Structure 1
Amino acid sequence: MRHEQEFPDRRTGIDPRVRRARRRRVLLVVAIVIAVVLAAVGGYVGWALNAPLSAPVVTWQAPEVSAPAAAPIALPTEGASAISISGADGYLGAEASGIWATSGTDEPRPIASITKLITALVILDAKPLASADDPGPTITFDKADHDLYDKYYVLGATIAAMPTGSTMSQRDALATVLIPSASNYAEAVSTWAFGSQGAFLSATRRWLAAHGLTGTTIVEPTGISPRNTSTPSDLVAVGKLAAAHPAIAQIVATPSLSLPGPGAMFNTNGLLGTGGITGLKTGNLGEGSFSMLYTASVDVGAAEPLSVVGVVLGGYSRQSVDSAVLTLLDSIRNGFHEVALATRGEEVGSYSTPWGSTAQMIVGESASIFTWSDTPVAVTMETTAPKTYEDGEVAGSITWSAGPNTATVDVEVEGSIRPPTAWWRLTHPSELGVP
């Protein structure tokens, strides 16, 4: 084989073989560098396009609730009054079922025919009825009982016919005492129950002491004497005892009745069935001494109606007392109300990302809460990180509380967080997660 001889380059004096070897080494180095660069670039691109992203930045604030206005309680301005409310402890406080509100002083005042309610309670303590409808024993009225009609007629008291020799059940006799407020029946039945007025009054004093009614004085069974006195707080207690007695509660809620002897009779409580009034007894000794001990079932929009026992003493007239009671009950009803908390779509926060995609946090549905007067409304808001940050996704909840009630609604995402573009990922390495 023939080999051609290569001679050194005349200009450089370098052997061509050496020059080619050098070129190959340079090309190899360049290829390696390019390979390394391409590998690095490829690795960066792969990392940048797949690196984890930081969670969107969230800012939020629970919606503010305007403080409800205080409800004015329209207590009677004449004489003295007291009121107790059961079934509203969660709204009004536990003290409401004692004496919730008063006006005037708690000194003893004449109670007029409210006395007859105490008389009936004392009689039933000695001669109980088995049930609300139990007629009890039969009472026969004699000539002395009949003479009471004339006695109280002369005194100007309310009376009902009582023929000599007529008979009546104990329950009907008590109904005649309480519904038309017949004074002659009050004395006759109390004498029948205890044998004499002295014995009745002794029993009454014991009954009052047993129930802690130290502010009450009873000197006769009808209330015609102004010396029959009591305090508003004592009478609220009397009203609760009467309302808890099945027979009395049923009798005082009866607008009218008709019985042999007395005939047709009508309840002196003209407010029965009005404004929620369910009982109990009115009294009247003339101008400036009108009184009313009442029970009421007041529907305020809560789960159950409120049970009210109240009293007004020393009112100027029957009309003024009735008006004061109805106005007070209306003011209690009006004090319970729905408080608007938030409306659907109301913004409570937002999400933002470094690449400019944003979304909002909104209230998922409108909300309100039932409460009393200016009871403070507390609010708490809890958030959770959405999985996809898509429109409509639940992102937490808001809970309001006032008194015994709470209201909770979801917080939702409005809008959607979109992922960044590939270019943004490639050009913002410092804002990407660690690979």
Structure 2
Amino acid sequence: MHDQPRRVSRQVYRRRRMVVFSLLSVVLVGILYVSGSLFAPVPATAAVTEHEASIAQPKAALTWPGWGASGITAPDYPGATEYHGSSASVPIASVTKTITALVVLDKKPIASGQNGPTISFTQKDVDIWNQVIAEGGSWAPAVAGTSMSEKQALEAMLLPSANNYAISLTNWAFGSSRAFVKAANAWLAAHKFTGSKLDSPDGLTPGSVSTTKDLIGIGKLALANPVLSAIVSQKSVSLPGAGKQDNTNTLLGVGGIDGIKTGNTDQAGNCLLFSAQVTVGQSKVRVIGVVLGAPTHDDLWAGVKTLLNSMTNGFHEVDASKAGRAYGTYTTPWGAKSTLVSTATKMFVVWSDTPIQVSMQTRPVQSGEKGEVVGQVRFTLNGTTQTAQLALAKAIPDPGLWWRLAHPGGLGA
């Protein structure tokens, strides 16, 4: 009789224990769920990017003279070299004196900041002057008993294009014009100017010839020599015995022109080997060009200016990236959104339609502060690369408790 109540009591106790354990289990599961929701990582979001694979500008259209032969280059820009007209070797008149100056400086170099050794002038140099006048060549006065530095003698040869100073200078450096011509042709061969040959130091005779391609290379060497590049950029100079002498290159200062040498004979026509620093946006671009065989000086000046202007217009200053430019968007599953923006401006000077290659790297984010760097964009032009960091335009917040509780399936790394 007494066992029945005990059995009932034990059954009630077992039921209560089951209820308590069930409630505890539910509470524990709930705690684990909430804890998991609070501390489990939210899914990382990848950016949807928007950028061009390359940036290209319109192709340049050079305006060439309708006569003779021409060439032009921007040495620092691959692909910015073009030629027009004949590639044959032709007479180059007093442009020859650029070669003469380079060969003399190779034999008798002038140290930086110096003027070189002193050259004394005698009656022989006066006789050379008179002979040049008789031949109808360009000249500058020579006075026996006076002296000049080597640099001044080069100025006398190059600025007024004085044939007599070309002869006197090479006599001083090599002993005779014949010895100079031999040395000059060896120098041309050594520099692989295979289309060029001299038969005099002044270019008066038609046997001093070159090509537009060779002359572009010779122009580069002239500019690379600090003594020579400084001389040819002068508009005038005052010289012992010769007085004031003006540069025959009257285009100096026009369109950035700062050299190099004129030339004119009946056989060569009117010629100019020129250099310029042209302005492209906020940048300067070095240009070297040559125009040969112009019918008149006016034709030459007009042809050079038009060609140089078209070359300048063929360059573009390109803002490949500006600070704040958008490159994509992060959009999270919980509705947060932030634009991916560049933190810096990256500028290039581009020749013609040369493309700027664009590539981008970003990382997935779960949350982030405004300005946090999350990637980079790379711009490559002719092997040179610039990089701009990419950052969040505004913060991406954590989704918060309620979204976490409501989206257990959206959690996880």
- Corresponding letter in the other structure for 1:134: G
Task: Identify the residue that residue 335 of structure 1 maps to in structure 2.
Answer: 315
For the residues of structure 1 that align with 2:331 and 2:178, how far apart are their CA atoms? 85
Distance 1:101 1:241 in 2: 18
2:378 aligned with 1:396: no
Tell me the CA shift for residue 129 of structure 1.
4.8
Cα distance in 2, alignment partners of residues 191 and 395 from structure 1: 68
CA distance in 2, matches of 1:345, 1:250: 44
Residue matched to 2:34? 49
2:120 pairs with 1:138: yes
1:63-112 residue CA offsets vs partner (Å, 9 max, x unmatched): 313622144152634432334544x3xxx34x77xxx3322232112211
Percent sequence identity over matched residues?
28
Deviation for aligned residue 1:281? 0.6
Contact 1:161–1:262 (CA<8 Å) still a contact in 2?
Answer: yes
Q: Name the SS of the counterpart of 2:265 in structure 1.
A: coil
* 1:365 counterpart = 2:343: yes
Q: Which residue of 2 aligns with 1:34?
A: 19
The answer for the alignment partner of 2:70 in structure 1 is 81
Q: Structure 1 residues 285, 344: closer, same or farther in 2, change over 3 A?
A: same
Shift of 1:280: 1.5
Q: What does residue 291 of structure 2 align with? A: 312
Q: Which residue of structure 2 aligns with residue 3 of structure 1?
A: none
Are 2:75 and 1:120 equivalent residues in the alignment?
no
2:192 matches 1:212? yes
Residue 369 and residue 61 in structure 1: after superposition, are their counterparts in 2 closer, same or farther (change >3 A)?
farther
Q: Give 3-state SS (helix, strand or coil) of 2:121's partner.
A: strand
Residue from 92, 95, 110 that aligns with 1:111: 92
CA displacement 1:242-265 (0-9 Å, x = unmatched): 334444333222210123443321
Tell me the amino acid that sits aligned with residue 400 of structure 1.
R
The alpha-carbon distance between structure 1 residues 382 and 107, as it changes in their structure 2 partners (threshold 3 A), is same
- Contact kept, 8 Å, 1:158 with 1:183, in 2: the verdict is yes
Question: One-letter code of the match for 1:365?
Answer: T
Name the count of aligned residue pairs: 400
Structure 2: 5+ residue stretches without partners: none
Structure 1 position 41, deviation (Å)? 1.6
Distance 1:416 1:202, change over 3 A: closer
Q: Match for residue 64 of structure 1?
A: 51
Pair 1:287–1:29, CA change in 2 (3 A): same
Query: CA distance change for structure 1 residues 336 and 130 in 2, over 3 Å: closer, same or farther?
Result: same
- Report what 1:180 is aligned to: 160
2:397 counterpart of 1:409:
no
Q: CA deviation at 1:134?
A: 2.2
Structure of higher CA gyration radius: 1
Residue type of the alignment partner of 2:46 = T
RMSD: 3.6
Task: State the distance in 2 between where 1:410 and 1:194 align.
Answer: 63
Say which SS state the counterpart of residue 169 (structure 1) adopts: strand
Q: TM-score, normalized by length of structure 1?
A: 0.77
State how 1:157-196 maps to structure 2 within 5 Å.
Answer: 157-163=137-143, 165=144, 167-169=146-148, 171=150, 172-191=152-171, 194=174, 196=176
Indicate the residue corresponding to 1:223 in structure 2.
203
TM-score, length of structure 2 as denominator length: 0.80
- Would you say the 8 A contact 1:342–1:366 is kept in 2? yes
Residues 25, 201 of structure 1: alpha-carbon distance in 2 compared, 3 angstrom cutoff = closer
Partner in structure 2 of residue 12 of structure 1: none
2:120 and 2:145 in contact (8 A); partners too: no
SS at match of 1:51: helix
Specify the alignment match of 1:102 in structure 2.
Answer: 83
5 Å matches for 1:366-385?
A: 367-373=345-351, 374-385=354-365
Structure 1 residue 235 displacement after superposition: 1.8
Question: For the structure 1 residues 401 and 130, does the alpha-carbon distance in structure 2 shift closer, same or farther, using more than 3 Å as the test?
Answer: closer
The 3 A distance-change label for structure 1 pair 384 and 320 is farther
Secondary structure of 2:220's counterpart equals helix
Indicate if the aligned counterparts of 2:44 and 2:364 stay in contact, CA closer than 8 A.
no
- Could you tell me how far apart the structure 1 residues matched to 2:182 and 2:44 are? 82
1:230: Cα distance to partner? 0.9
Equivalent in the alignment of 1:274: 254
Paired AA for residue 131 in structure 2:
L
- Taking the aligned partners of 2:215 and 2:208, their CA distance within structure 1 comes to 12
Q: CA deviation digits over 1:366-389, x for unaligned, max 9?
A: 543424243232212121545xx2
Contact 2:48 2:330 in 1 (8 A): no
CA offsets 1:7-35 (integer angstroms, 9 cap, x no match): xxxxxxxx8x7875565455334422321
Distance 1:226 1:188 in 2: 20
The verdict on how the C-alpha distance between 1:421 and 1:62 changes in structure 2, with shifts beyond 3 A counting, is closer
1: distance between equivalents of 2:410 and 2:102?
85
CA–CA distance in structure 1, aligned partners of residues 94 and 325 of structure 2 = 61
SS in 1 for 2:254: coil
Shift of 1:49: 1.0
**Structure 1 residue 170, shift from structure 2 partner:** 5.2
Q: Secondary structure at 1:284's aligned position in 2?
A: strand
- Residues in 1 aligned to 2:371 and 2:108: alpha-carbon distance in whole angstroms: 70
Residue 62 of structure 2 contacts residue 314 of structure 2 at CA under 8 Å; is this kept in 1? no
2:229 equivalent in structure 1: 249
Letter paired with 1:268: T
What is the alpha-carbon distance in structure 2 between the residues aligned to residue 195 and residue 345 of structure 1? Answer: 67
Q: Distance in 2 between matches of 1:433 and 1:339?
A: 41
